[in-house]
Amino acid sequence: MESRGLEGVNDLIQRGYTVKIGDYISQGWQLFKKNAGGYIAFAIILVLLGVVLGKLNESASPLGTIISLIVTGPLYAGWYIVAFKQIRNRLPEFADFFQG
């Protein structure tokens, strides 16, 4: 029996959908260029946070892992929130990166 996921893929193929990787990369680059400073600043914050959380994990404390799991998921969601705002032609604010 075929899984639902494969049915969905087959349905897309039958409708003539094609993956346009070049277009997706181009669109992503355009979004990045519109808010490069925000994306770069947020990436720096994530790297610094990763260093701090990595130091907590080095101590073999489960607390570092728990904090990392709780904090990083919502922060990464901030990337999507900002990108979706841009796609909808809404002006994102830097605070939107932390809305996850």
**What 8-state DSSP symbol labels residue 59?**
T
* Residue 96, pLDDT above cutoff 90: yes
Determine the average pLDDT of the residues in 55-84.
Answer: 82
Rounded Cα distance, 45 and 67, in Å: 16
Rounded Cα distance, 91 and 35, in Å: 9
Q: What is the pLDDT of residue 3?
A: 53
* Residue 22, pLDDT above cutoff 70: yes
Place of tokens 């990083």: 72
Q: What is the pLDDT of residue 2?
A: 45
